Amino acid sequence: MIISASRRTDIPTYYSNWFFNRVMDGYVLVRNPMNAHQISKIALNPDVVDGIVFWTKNPIPMLNELKILHDYMYYFQFTLNSYAQDVEAHVPNKQKHIIPAFKKLSDMIGPDRVIWRYDPIFLNDTYTPEYHIRYFERIAKELSPYTKKCTISFIDFYRNTSKNVSGLSLRDFPEETQKSLAKELAAIAHSYGLLIDTCAEGIELQTLKAPSSIDVDENHHVKGIYVTPQMVSSIRDGRASIKPTGEEDIYIPCDVLIVAIGQNIETHHFEQAGIPVERGKIVTKSTGAFENLPGVFAGGDCVTGPATVIRAIAAGKVAAANIDEYLGYHHEISCDVEIPEAHLDDRTPCGRVNLTEREACERVCDFEAVENCMTEKEAKQEAGRCLRCDHFGYGIFKGGRETLW
């Protein structure tokens, strides 16, 4: 479980005592946003928390108590930009308090675990592109020994955003100006040895909108798509269902439409043949066999639903071995490659290799991979982290197959 604390509320600034109390008690109570009367108790002990992401403009109230988190993995997304008190009235003086706090935090937990965020970027008569360039360089010079990465983003106008910035007389911020400013900031970041990326720029996620029809022009080129507004409805099979709101379809203009389909199991013909199917998945015993269909076995995604390759391989092993026995044989599969005996205590703890990304100004020009490949040295190190799931994970024999073939 990964805890985001929190993009909606600056917990380190305003609720650090509450947060540490929850950690020490080992749980937090969470109200279901769809059912105010349903409250769940969520464990917060290190065994279930894989990591914590703190989002803050001022971590000072938290710094002296970070030792409480010594058993947890965590890092900070630290927003530090160039705006004055007219924009950030509740943020202490940055030169006297916030920049020293950034440095102290970095000294405490390491520069890899403190990400500098310069966002959101907007323009008005005071905060011009030239202003942002000038002050971004000043901050980058101060922070470069204390962080390795900077994330920038440009302001997005949502309903609450528009209300909160109504007194700032914001200027238009055309895409060309954004690109030009981003290029300048990237050059400054690189000059101080900082990686720089953008936060979901140009991407808008619209949920609960079901595609209903596609609009094309006289040449059958796509012009837009109509979507049907939906809403969360009653609980079915333990999950909230979705239903149309009854509102008119919404038209979304577009130049390119990419259909991203999920996966589903084609079970109709199996069901017609008498094979048991439940909720789109074939139902078998743990051995891969069926209750009343001798000699028929199944395994993999058609039984589990879309899962991992490792799990499918394990199901294949189980089915193959049980088919072998069903046919009256007891073959033992040999391997021409000598595989070392599997142990869990012969691995030197090692962090995961973090893939680097190509520069955003390069990525927008092509459809090549966003991430750079590992070097040979990195690939070998990653391979050395293998925990032998063929023996200890989903790759082991299951379903009555606890021994070798």
Q: Is the pLDDT of residue 108 over 70?
A: yes
Domain assignment present for 187: yes
Domain assignment present for 369: no
Q: Is the pLDDT of residue 22 over 50?
A: yes
Domain assignment present for 363: no
Cα dist from 235 to 229, 246, 265, 328, whole Å: 19, 19, 23, 48
233 shares its domain with 298: no
pLDDT one-digit tens code per residue, 172-222? 888 889 988 998 998 899 888 888 888 766 656 576 888 999 999 999 999
Average pLDDT over the chain, rounded to an integer: 86
Q: What is the DSSP letter of 118?
A: E
Mean per-residue pLDDT, 148-168:
77
Domain that holds residue 216: 209-253
- Map tokens 């893939």 to a residue: 355
Count of domains forming the chain: 3
Which CATH number belongs to the domain containing residue 120 in this structure? 3.80.30.10
96 shares its domain with 231: no
Task: Out of 198, 219, 237, pick the residue that ends a domain.
Answer: 198
107 shares its domain with 46: yes
Domain assignment present for 379: no
Q: Is 0.85 surpassed by the pTM of this model?
A: no
Task: Out of 156, 174, 198, pick the residue that ends a domain.
Answer: 198
222 shares its domain with 125: no
234 shares its domain with 292: no
239 shares its domain with 274: no
Q: Is the pLDDT of residue 336 over 80?
A: no
Res 73: pLDDT:
94
CA 322, 323, 324, 329 torsion-angle sign: positive
Domain assignment present for 368: no
Res 323: pLDDT:
92
137 shares its domain with 237: no
178 shares its domain with 315: no
Mean per-residue pLDDT, 294-317:
86
Mean per-residue pLDDT, 148-170:
78
Res 400: pLDDT:
46
Res 309: pLDDT:
82
Q: Is the pLDDT of residue 88 over 60?
A: yes
pLDDT one-digit tens code per residue, 46-82? 989 999 999 999 999 999 999 999 999 999 999 999 9
Res 405: pLDDT:
45
- Map tokens 């007891």 to a residue: 330
72 shares its domain with 221: no
Domain assignment present for 57: yes
Task: Out of 186, 220, 253, pick the residue that ends a domain.
Answer: 253
Nearest one of 65, 61, 63 to 13, comparing CA atoms: 61
Domain assignment present for 151: yes
216 shares its domain with 145: no
With b meaning 16 or more CB within 10 Å and e meaning fewer, what string describes 185-213?
bbebbeebebbbbbeebeeeeeeebeeee
- pLDDT tier for residue 314 given thresholds of 50, 70 and 90: confident
Q: Is the pLDDT of residue 398 over 60?
A: no
Mean per-residue pLDDT, 285-307:
88
213 shares its domain with 191: no
103 shares its domain with 183: yes
